[in-house]
């Protein structure tokens, strides 16, 4: 689609900047402009952005490092004592992390090998009397094992080794955070500063070292950057590796499927799908053959888990006074998630203009998060880079982040309340309110993304005539398969003989016509 045609459809009067122009947030985002006053105001027209040592990549890397270090400082009360002395200290100081506890609780301190050795009964401090294998995906297990090899062994007590284990993992996760922010920057090449949304996210500082989710986040971000740069096989490989570290990245194949169907790029989707399958199998098959029971523990654990913290299912269970039951819960979640995905697929095929890949990726992962039986605080890390690409507006991003910070504090205060007879923290009803705040924040951002899809003139990425910077081969592609409203727009837009042809695929380019008021 030409920029003029897009401007007519979008109803915007903004001229399209030159192809090599870098979009400066302070020029188009009121909140970013106001924030820039702290540094002297928006850049002037003579500013040489990126011409000095302070390139966007270096600035973003330093920004994410600074925010990450602030997060490490926030965990200081736990590092010195909270993880080891007193159950509730780590909750009242909101500095809990799975990492030091699982060093001993999953047998790493004793030299046990993930997926081969079972954890002795009671080793993790739980009330489950049964032996079990490590309940994490294979690539995350490898990440944990590498951190164990790097943790000093001789002459240190277990608490000291747990501290070192957390520090080693923190260093490795910091590398993941830097990789992720650079990948986000390179996904929208003309909008590198959108990655500041990820780098400066409050939830990144608070949640980065709770668990190992940043590994999958980094791999997913690199995969999206490869797709944006028209390398579908490499994109698929990275998505496959990310899926071997955490389950959610495989959901990105759904948006790619419907977008490639609409844009006539099924060959490239097939390449990405093949890359995903090959990479995932390359990582997982050796462990499957080595010990099938150890490999499948993660998938069985997810199926047998009950309603848990952070989900609206927990609110229902606690209000009813009884669980729905594992079978009914899994079925309800599956049905609800499938309905959400079908709705997103319909939106992708029926919207007046094809949605951007990042928009659908955010919606699908958000649907998974919202319908899941558990919402751990670190799950917000999955959404931050997708939100930065889907809706790069500071106002909406900060509203959502504020809701996530409320949930981060609320869940620890609730755990403090139920784990100590003194009941420091918040009771159940207040925790339910905190969960609703988290749900509202995520739904609010989803609503803004859906509005941008239905009204492309309000999409911050498309105001300048851009189509889909994260779309790779989809960027600028003409529609081949559409339904509903999109079919009406296509017919009214004049896909007729004699219209200008799209040289990329031979389909006639649309001529924009305004839809009648009726």
Instruction: Report d(CA 134, CA 49) in Å as an integer.
Output: 48
In this predicted structure, the answer to whether residue 1 has a pLDDT above a threshold of 50 is no
Instruction: Report d(CA 433, CA 87) in Å as an integer.
Output: 24
3-state SS, 193-207, equals HHHHHHHCCHHHHHH
399-458: pLDDT as tens digits: 999 999 999 999 999 999 988 777 788 999 999 999 999 999 999 999 999 999 999 989
Instruction: Report d(CA 244, CA 138) in Å as an integer.
Output: 6
- Paired strand residues for 501: 508
Task: Give the residue extent of every domain in the chain.
Answer: 3-15+56-492
DSSP string, 292-327: HHHHHHHHHHHHH--S-TTSHHHHHHHHHTS---HH
Q: What is the mean pLDDT of the chain?
A: 85
pLDDT of residue 365: 98
Q: What angle do CA 90, 92, 93 make, to 5 degrees?
A: 65
In this predicted structure, the answer to whether residue 495 has a pLDDT above a threshold of 50 is no
Contact 211, 141 (CB under 8 A): no
Listed residue (179, 254, 190, 253) closest to 214, CA to CA:
179
pLDDT of residue 487: 63
Q: What angle do CA 77, 81, 85 make, to 5 degrees?
A: 130
Listed residue (346, 350, 349, 366) closest to 358, CA to CA:
366
pLDDT of residue 497: 33
Contact 208, 226 (CB under 8 A): no
Percent helix, percent strand, percent coil in the chain, to nearest 5: 65, 0, 35
Alpha helices per DSSP H over 188-291? 196-199, 202-207, 213-228, 232-245, 253-263, 266-290
Considering only residues 45 and 25, tell me which one the structure prediction assigns the higher pLDDT: 25
In this predicted structure, the answer to whether residue 359 has a pLDDT above a threshold of 90 is yes
């Amino acid at each position: 689609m030409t920029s003029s045609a897009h401007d007519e459809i979008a109803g915007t009067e903004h001229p399209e900047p030159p192809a090599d122009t870098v979009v400066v947030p302070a020029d188009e985002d009121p909140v970013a402009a106001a924030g820039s006053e702290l540094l002297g105001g928006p850049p002037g027209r003579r500013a040489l952005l990126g011409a000095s040592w302070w390139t966007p990549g270096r600035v973003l890397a330093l920004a994410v490092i600074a925010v990450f270090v602030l997060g490490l400082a926030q965990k200081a009360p736990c590092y010195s004592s909270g993880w080891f002395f007193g159950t509730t200290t780590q909750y009242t100081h909101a500095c809990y992390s799975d990492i030091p506890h699982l060093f001993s609780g999953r047998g790493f301190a004793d030299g046990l090998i993930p997926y081969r050795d079972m954890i002795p009964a009671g080793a993790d401090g739980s009330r489950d009397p049964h032996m079990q294998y490590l309940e994490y995906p294979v690539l995350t297990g490898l990440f944990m094992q590498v951190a164990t090899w790097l943790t000093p062994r001789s002459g240190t007590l277990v608490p000291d080794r747990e501290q070192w284990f957390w520090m080693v993992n923190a260093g490795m996760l910091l590398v993941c955070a830097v990789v992720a922010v650079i990948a986000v920057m390179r996904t929208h090449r003309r909008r590198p500063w959108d990655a500041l949304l990820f780098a400066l996210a409050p939830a990144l500082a608070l949640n980065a070292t709770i668990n190992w989710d940043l590994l999958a986040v980094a791999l997913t971000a690199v995969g999206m950057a490869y797709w944006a740069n028209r390398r579908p096989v490499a994109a698929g490989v990275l998505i496959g590796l990310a899926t071997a570290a955490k389950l959610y990245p495989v959901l990105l194949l759904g948006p790619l499927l419907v977008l490639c169907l609409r844009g006539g790029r099924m060959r490239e989707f097939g390449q990405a799908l093949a890359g995903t399958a090959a990479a995932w199998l390359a990582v997982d098959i050796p462990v499957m053959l080595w010990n099938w029971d150890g490999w499948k523990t993660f998938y069985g654990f997810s199926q047998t888990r009950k309603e848990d913290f952070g989900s609206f299912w927990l609110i229902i269970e606690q209000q009813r006074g009884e669980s729905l039951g594992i079978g009914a819960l899994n079925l309800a979640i599956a049905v609800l998630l499938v309905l959400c995905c079908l709705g997103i697929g319909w939106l992708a095929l029926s919207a007046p203009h094809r949605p951007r890949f990042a928009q659908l990726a955010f919606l699908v992962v958000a649907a998974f998060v919202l319908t899941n039986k558990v919402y751990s605080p670190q799950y917000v890390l999955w959404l931050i880079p997708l939100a930065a690409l889907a809706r790069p507006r500071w106002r909406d991003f900060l509203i959502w982040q504020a809701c996530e910070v409320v949930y981060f504090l609320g869940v620890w205060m609730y755990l403090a309340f139920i784990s100590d007879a003194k009941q420091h923290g918040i009771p159940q009803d207040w925790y339910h309110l905190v969960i609703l705040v988290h749900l509202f924040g995520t739904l609010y951002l989803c609503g803004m993304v859906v509005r941008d899809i239905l009204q492309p003139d309000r999409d911050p990425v498309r105001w300048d005539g851009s189509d889909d910077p994260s779309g790779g081969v989809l960027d600028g592609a003409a529609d081949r398969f559409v339904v509903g409203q999109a079919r009406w727009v296509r017919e009214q837009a004049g896909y007729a003989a004699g219209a200008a042809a799209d040289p990329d695929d031979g389909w006639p380019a649309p001529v924009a016509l305004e839809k009648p008021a009726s």
